[in-house]
Chains A and B, each alone.
Chain A
Amino acid sequence: MWMGLAVYCRMIGDDGPLIFWSRWPDGTRVDRLDKISALAITGLVLWALALVMVQFAAQEERLEVQPAVVRVDPELDKKIALAKTLLAGNSIEQADKLLAELIAVYPFEAMPYLLNGDVHLYRQDPVGAMLEYRKAVDLNPDFLDKKSELFQGKKVKKTVEEARAVIESGLAAKSGDETLLAARKVYYYMLRKIAGSCG
């Protein structure tokens, strides 16, 4: 698009397509830079408006499917503690069931996703674990913050590296696997999250 605009700008002269616009109100002659600027402004504003329209449409859809969220529930901590106990006791199936319930009821709580990642680790599925950890760190960045008590960076980093090995070997066997390609994108994303940012 930019190449096209550049070529087009080269083509238009002082009396180019915007021939109807040749003088400013004070009588000054409109030159090529004026015309290029006017065209660029129009293009950029239309682009921005198109983005806004697309976003509005997407927002309406999202609002329709957004589940009701229970924000305060004293039972949550108890259930999370129970899930941890179940995991520690190797009761993976029970923990999995409990966490699925918690995620359904508290979709915006990070800890159930983190524990769900642990469930995947118990099942030796580092890619699944990484995908769950991604949800957890998106909801609560404290899991990757060394200054936070919730810091889980080492575990997450190790899992992400294990996931990379699985993804790479999978892609070596089947290069076009869309699931693995999507997982690789998440891997890169997790690397950036682990590397940190000023924000």
Chain B
Amino acid sequence: MRKAVFVMMGAVIGVGAVILSYYGNPANTGLCVSCFMENMAGAIGLHDNVRMQYLRPEIIGIVLGSFVWSVYRKEFLTTGGSSPLLRFVVGVLLIIGCSVFIGCPVKMMLRLAAGDIGALVGMAGLVAGIYIGLEFVENGFQLGKPSEMPQASGYMLPGFMLLLLALAVMQPSFVGVSAKGGGAMHAPFLLALGLGLLIGGWSQHTQFCITGGIARLFLWGPREVMNCPRSTGLLISLGSFFSFALIASLLTNQFSFGLNGQPSSNDSYGWAFLGMLLVGFGSILIRGCPLRQLVAAGQGDTDAGVTVMGMLVGAALVQNWGLAGTPAGTPMTAQVAVLFGISLLLAVGLLNRKRGYGIAPEYQLGLD
């Protein structure tokens, strides 16, 4: 695949997300898988925070965009059976970690590109988590090799998103729609859906993944970037994502450089670090950041589909149990959840290692 394709990937998500926040999504939240999952969980009645209820067309678009593009390119393949329940739990933990930081890895990039230097702490945590995850992966961690499954299973998650799309269009009374708060702040429906489809399609095409991109640095080192094989394309996409988002933020007057008073932030830097460490660690264990899970679910990976369901449940728990970071700081419940979450991932790592082995075959997929 040519370098330009990876650059385009970064441009699509970087510019697309900034356009979305310019046209109504919350500031620095043009695209955020965890925030939007919380909105969707609220819309379908999994929590009762009236400020966080909206069926986000971006999320629906990402899954459906990936589905359509993978079918078109004949890459849709139903696979599964690689520790699904464990992935469900990790999905829950990913959203908890993101909520403590107040944003998923995509939003972290957007916050950085909009001048929020406090997000660097989250980046450091994410990198630390990726490093820890890779320690396990390189030392025989495995969830079991996924195998091909009956076709119908692969259609479940795209089908579910299609159902949500129908509900978002028809707006029946049982679907919650916020009249105020973060859920009420959204870009026009068709614009959000269209950009979601575009981002989903491109992400499927390039296998875009933020944690995967950073992991390449630890696996092969900076020398690989110079030679630019396919494996470092993700890193190119990350650089392109940041650059285009930065330019778009400047052009749309959404750039505000500084540490204090940034949207979706607080001064609990230690917990932000640990929250993103949880996300980086978990993402490596299940082979992909929250965005990548959505995209993989769209192309028939039922394990990723189970993770997405875990993310939806995690989003509901975050709201019901008060596990999200707020401008005032990180609530005690969230602190405990992060600590237990990291402990749980370490325990999973301990129990799922085949000692004396290197990288398991399922982790070598797509690394070449």
Contact = CB atoms under 8 A, between A and B. Distances in A.
Interface of A: 24, 28-29, 31, 33-34, 37-38, 40-41, 44-45, 47-48, 51-52, 54-55, 138, 141-142, 145, 147-148, 188-189, 191-199
Interface residues of B, number: 46
Contacts of B355: 24, 28-29, 31, 34
A37 B350 contact: yes
Nearest to B181: A145
Interface in B195-245: none
Contact of B342 (A34, A44, A192): A44
A93 B302 CA distance: 67
Given A44-B339, A141-B51, A197-B26, A189 B180 contact: no
Overall SS of chain A's interface: helix
B332 A44 contact: no
B267 A44 contact: no
A48 B182 contact: no
Interface centre among B52, B107, B327, B332 (most CB of A within 10 A): B327
B160 interface: no
B186 to A, nearest CB: 11
A195 B185 CA distance: 13
B139 A199 contact: no
A89 B180 CA distance: 33
B169 to A, nearest CB: 22
Interface of B: 26-27, 29, 32, 35, 38, 51-52, 102-103, 107, 135-136, 139, 179-182, 184-185, 260-267, 324, 326-328, 332, 335-336, 339-340, 342-343, 346-347, 349-350, 353, 355-356
B184 A41 contact: no
A102 B135 CA distance: 59
B342 to A, nearest CB: 6
Contacts of A40: 342-343, 346
A156 to B, nearest CB: 13
Nearest to B256: A195
A38 to B, nearest CB: 7
Given A33-B139, A147-B179, A147-B180, A199 B326 contact: yes
Contacts of B356: 28
A45 B340 contact: yes
Contacts of A142: 180
Contacts of A47: 339
Contacts of A54: 332
